[in-house]
Amino acid sequence: MAVYSLGQRATGFTNGTALWELRTAAAARARLHVVSLSASIATSGPRFGLGRPAAIGVTPTSPQTWLAHEPDDPAGTVQGALAWGTGPTAPARFFAQHLMFNQYMLFWTFPVPLVISVSSSIVVWTGSVGTSTVVDMFARGDE
């Protein structure tokens, strides 16, 4: 199986929305090994959660496809999206939730990979985050 990674930066987002969506294609599923967030936060107490949205985002704007670690591996099909025509809906439950303070980095690792089904997604959801916050995100997985 080929291994892939993707890093993206989110700015200017609002509370109670998807910050980042990792989306699979119609013909492939993916296994997620690591998701990390790095932020320099002016306000205390922002929360981030990782979960499956009730509905995938529609019409993502400028999605980026994750990159293969081996140059000879096939191109990845998983896309990272930061904005949509209609955003993903809130997850009913979360695999993980964290409260961050000031400058912070967190890693969600999955010794047993978290599967993203065909034509589905996983989102990083925001709560109590100031709109001026900048968050760098990273994911590694395989498909």
Q: Is 95's pLDDT higher than 60?
A: yes
Q: What is the pTM of this model?
A: 0.90
* Statement: residue 132 has pLDDT above 60: no
Lowest mean pLDDT among 15-29, 30-44, 82-96, 122-136: 122-136
Q: How far is CA 44 from the centre of its chain?
A: 22
What is the total count of domains within the chain? 1
- In degrees, to the nearest 5, what angle opens at C-alpha 51 toward C-alphas 129 and 127? 15
pLDDT at 113 over 80: yes
* Rounded mean pLDDT, 91-95: 93
As a whole number, mean pLDDT of residues 71-96 equals: 94
Q: Find the Cα–Cα–Cα–Cα dihedral 128, 35, 20, 115, rounded to 10°.
A: -120
Domain that holds residue 82: 3-142
Q: Who contacts 68 (Cβ-Cβ below 8 Å, separation ≥6)?
A: 2, 3, 4, 74, 75, 76
Does the structure show a pLDDT above 70 at 129? Answer: no
Give the Å distances, CA to CA, from 136 to 6, 34, 103: 11, 14, 12
pLDDT of residue 102: 65
Query: What tens digit of pLDDT does each residue of 100-109 get?
Result: 766 678 889 9
